[in-house]
Amino acid sequence: QIPTEQWAQVVEKKGGPVSYKKIPVPTCGPDEVLVNIKYSGVCHTDLHAMMGDWPLPTKMPLVGGHEGAGIVVARGELVKDIEIGDYAGIKWLNGSCAACYYCRQADEPLCGEPQLSGYTVDGSFQQYCIGKAAQVAHIPKECSLEAIAPILCAGLTVYKALKESGARPGQFVAVVGAGGGLGSLAIQYGKAMGLHVIAVDGGQDKGQHCLDLGATAYVDFTTSKDLVSEVKQASGEDGLGPHAVLVLAASEKPFQQASEYVRSRGTIVCIGLPANAYLKAPVFDTVTRMINIKGSYVGNRQDTAEAIEFYRRGLIKSTHKTVGLSELQSVFKLMEEGKITGRYVVDTSR
């Protein structure tokens, strides 16, 4: 049965660290479900949240995490479309107002009064987590909860971003930050969508990892003498540059650089959220080369279902490493040092 206490990782002050301790199990309201989280992915956003990197305050104390996969153990009296025992996912958008201009047209991530898991409400770095029933991800029973966890933010976000990029099958897309959590999935979703993926990241290990996942080329930003021409050379016979660029890096420089190698009429999709960063591109080139620069932010419920379906069909493999929830702080340390290839998943039972 549902215990009254549970293990959680709690951020008690800006900058961290997280502390592993017992806290009460929350109870769900009428439109909510309680999910027994088995596994949670660790997204770079969780580190930004703990460090207070963004111009949006978090709740405090805070239980982070928004790639939580588990089992529904309780539901409020208004909840009809998900059963006790079903697999469910806690994603970044925990809930939205459902009534505003954006929510009315299924653009819920743009809602002005959202509940954000692991940011404005407690997230999945605990054994029992609340989700608004309308927004929890429905996970098919045949899927591994451990492997699917990273799909709930990283997979969803890159799948949506690839759609927003407008790139069509046979075209080239550069993925910047390709060896990280979002990037490892972007390579695979891109490939599954018929795109050629040019992976950009740093170091030989990440390079091998990107090529193993199906990237057509790897450009190492830490050693390349001329990154712009290397990316262009990798973009097919004409060498005009990739049709789209997904900028996933948690640093500012690649956001400034993408306009130098994107193909004319191409699209730069900004996804990474480095602290205090600004976009900069020459107006002259942006105009005369007709460059599109846009943002992409998670995805809606339909995008979630589609991203999960790609995984269920076996088109995407998870490249996660699993450690205990108790080891979360050491995962953050590796993340800060840029040493993570793929994604870490935490097991809430240890």
> Residue 83: CB partners within 8 Å, gap ≥ 6?
72, 75
- Which of ligand 8ID, Zn ion, none lies near 97, with the C-beta cut-off 5 to 8 A by kind? Zn ion
Please, where are the H alpha helices in the chain?
Answer: 44-51, 101-104, 145-148, 154-165, 181-192, 204-212, 227-233, 253-261, 283-288, 301-312, 328-336
| Range 75-104 burial, b when 16+ CB lie within 10 A, else e | bbeebeebeeebbbbbbbbbbbeeebebbe
- Nearest distance from residue 276's CB to ligand 8ID, in Å? 12
* The only residue of 38, 44, 232, 320 in contact with ligand 8ID, by rule CB under 6 A: 44
Only one residue has tokens 């996933």, namely 248
- Nearest distance from residue 221's CB to ligand 8ID, in Å? 4
Nearest-Å Rg of the Cα atoms of the chain is: 20
| Neighbour tally for 144: CB within 10 Å | 14
182-221 mask for ligand 8ID (x: CB under 6 A)? xx----------------xxx------------------x
* The only residue of 250, 291, 308, 328 in contact with ligand 8ID, by rule CB under 6 A: 250
88-127 mask for ligand 8ID (x: CB under 6 A)? ----------------------------------------
| Neighbour tally for 233: CB within 10 Å | 15
- Is 303 a residue that touches ligand 8ID (CB under 6 A)? no
- Is 181 a residue that touches ligand 8ID (CB under 6 A)? yes
| Residue ranges that bind ligand 8ID, judged by CB under 6 A | 43-45, 48, 153, 157, 176-177, 179-183, 200-202, 221, 248-251, 253-254, 271-274, 296-298, 335, 338, 340
